[in-house]
Amino acid sequence: METDGAVDGGGFSLNIGCCTARMAELWGVYYGLWPLHCLGKGILRVEVEIDSLMVVGFLKSVICDTYPLSFLVHMCHDLLSKDWKV
């Protein structure tokens, strides 16, 4: 995660167990944004880098609630809609 300089976004690692690549990418977005949101240090811009074009599509559009990863996409949507430029 890159920020506008208010906070060093740094990196992280997390053991999420056995999952699909899409799920791993979505958890990466969620756990990458959550601490930045909680810190509330006046971050205005956040840059998110994702390898999966499909996951980018999930995050840029509405996803059907019956899709198996919809819960995670909705959690990411909530964080992405906070008061910062992504």
**For residue range 14-31, what is the model confidence (pLDDT) as tens digits?**
777 888 889 988 988 888
Q: Among the ranges 4-13, 33-42, 49-58, which has the highest mean pLDDT value?
A: 49-58
Q: Confirm whether 85 is domain-assigned.
A: no
Number of structural domains in the chain: 1
Q: In terms of residue numbers, what domain contains 54?
A: 2-80
**What is the tally of helices (H) and strands (E) in the chain?**
3, 2
Q: Confirm whether 86 is domain-assigned.
A: no
Facing residues of 46 across strands? 3
Give me the residue label for tokens 């994702």: 50
AA letter at 84: W
pTM tops 0.75, yes or no: no
- Taking alpha carbons only, the member of 49, 54, 51, 46 closest to residue 73 is 54
What are 51's two structure tokens? Answer: 């390898």
